[in-house]
Amino acid sequence: MTRIEFMQGNAASAEGALAAGCRFFGGYPITPSTEVAELMARKMPKLGGVFVQMEDEIASIAAVIGAAWTGKKAMTATSGPGFSLMLENIGFAIMTETPLVIVNVQRGGPSTGQPTMSAQGDMLQCRFGSHGDMAILALAPDSVQEMYDLTVKAFNLAERFRCPAFLMADEIIGHMRERIDVPDRVEVVDRKPFVPGRLPFEADDDRVPGFPTFGQGHHTHVTGLTHDARGYPVTTDPAMHDALVRRLVGKVEDARREIADYRVTNPDAEVVFICYGAPARTVRQLVADRPDDGIGVLRLRLVWPFPEHALAEFPNARAFVVPEQNLGQIAREVERHVRVPVIPVSKLGGELHTPDELARVYEEVRAR
């Protein structure tokens, strides 16, 4: 059963989080994500959860991590400048295998840039922005419905992999209101429980250890230093570090195929659009406007880990066109994997690609 609502994207994300079981929100206001926090401030107390506005984004993510260790599902929401500030502690969450969700409603950067305009400029930042090697999970909604659904999914992935999951939204989707079907119940994944007798960071075959929630007598030491399976710091043993980092990266990256989440349209196409977030709306409009052209579309809902195998779904592709609200960030990734031309269609400044613009690019590429 679902309930029809007319809802703002940011509100849908907050609702999705609550449905997924989020009971701790720590945040710091920033345009264009603030509505997520504001809705949480209203709703959390009624659900027995905790909303706290921290002194900054560093403290926000820190509090979220602390809360996660008490067993809570926890999240924060922010945008570019705040996201930049969170990066150190995002690395800590990765290193300590803390499940949590970060919503980044992207606005125009660099720097303070265009606070109220849409962008997708943080797509590589979320993947490579903290120091050291790592893997993360990143989803990109292209509708208010997906703000809801993919927030739920972000929680489920975060819990399953004990790894931060990002909802990489954009101002357009975050701020727009549209129809959404709110489900009665959603599928919820919980972190794997800790099995007493094992070591706190001893992983199973899936390379994910059970979660030794604080306060239950496990006496777990959690540190951002390189650590052994007991959680104790071991900082000068190269093999230990190598094994740890490869496990942390591998548990996510190697699940690439299994967790891939994308939509394929016209797999026989010669010209294929790869898209995610707001520009996907334009691409879908274009395809709808030209039903006979058989335009290919690979729409990513989960962007990281990048589903490179999905590119093979278009065996006839002569070119991949990648419209993004950035200078071709995901296009760079596509270039690594294909040998046909990759054509980034970068639109900066906050406006959405129009169907006409993409039609022109399409014509041009088809004519090549």
Partner 1 sequence: MTFTDWLRADRLPHIWCSGCSNGTILNCTLAAVEAEGWDRDRTVFVSGIGCSSRAPGYVATDSLHTTHGRALAFATGVKLAEPSLNVVVFTGDGDLAAIGGNHFIHACRRNVDMTVVCMNNLIYGMTGGQGSPTTPLGALSTTTPYGASEPAFDLVALAVAAGANHVARWTAYHVKELEKAVKTGLETPGLSFIEVRAGCPTNYGRKNRIREVTDMADHFRTRSMLKTKYDRLVAEGKPVPADAIVVGEFVRRANPAMGVAP
Partner 2 sequence: MRRELRLSGFGGQGIMLAAVVLGRAAVMYDHTYAVQTQVYGPEARGGASMAAVVIDDNPILYPKVTDPDLLVIMSQEGFEKYGANARPDALMLLDRGLVHSRPDCAYIEVPATDDARSVLKKVIVANIVMLGALVAATGVVSREAIERAVLDQVPKGTEDLNLRALRQGYVRGEEARR
Ligand X SMILES: Cc1ncc(C[n+]2csc(CCOP(=O)(O)OP(=O)(O)O)c2C)c(N)n1
Q: Which one, 175 or 207, has the nearer CB to partner 2?
A: 175
Contacted entry of a copy of itself, partner 2, ligand X, none for residue 190, CB cut-off 5 to 8 Å set by kind = none
Chain-centroid distance, C-alpha 356? 29
Assign 3-class secondary structure to 41-85: HHHHHHHCCEEEECCCHHHHHHHHHHHHHCCCEEEEEECHHHHHH
Torsion-angle region of residue 136: left (phi > 0), alpha (psi -120 to 50) or beta? beta
In whole angstroms, how far apart are CA 304 and each of 37, 112, 124, 175, 364?
25, 25, 10, 23, 30
Angstrom distance (rounded) from CA 24 to CA 39: 13
59 touching ligand X, by CB under 6 A = no
d(CA 323, CA 336): 17
Q: Closer to partner 1 at the Cβ: 75 or 365?
A: 75
| Residue 184 or 187 having the CB closest to partner 2 | 184
Per CB under 8 A, 125 contacts a copy of itself = yes
CB of 132 to ligand X, least distance (A): 13
**Rounded distance between C-alpha atoms, residue 83 and residue 137, angstroms:** 15
Binding site for partner 2 (CB under 8 A): 4-6, 31-32, 115-117, 171-172, 175-179, 233-236, 278, 281-282, 284-285, 288, 351-352, 354-355
CB count within 10 Å of CB 206 equals 12
As measured in angstroms, the least distance from the Cβ of 104 to partner 2 is 17
Interface contacts to partner 1, rule CB under 8 A: 23-24, 26, 28-31, 34, 37-38, 41-42, 45, 50-59, 62-72, 74, 81, 88-89, 92, 111-112, 212, 214-225, 232-233
Interface contacts to a copy of itself, rule CB under 8 A: 58, 79-81, 83-85, 87-88, 91-92, 94-96, 106, 108-117, 119, 121-122, 124-125, 127-134, 223-226, 235-242, 245-246, 248-249, 326-327, 329, 332, 335-336, 339, 347-351
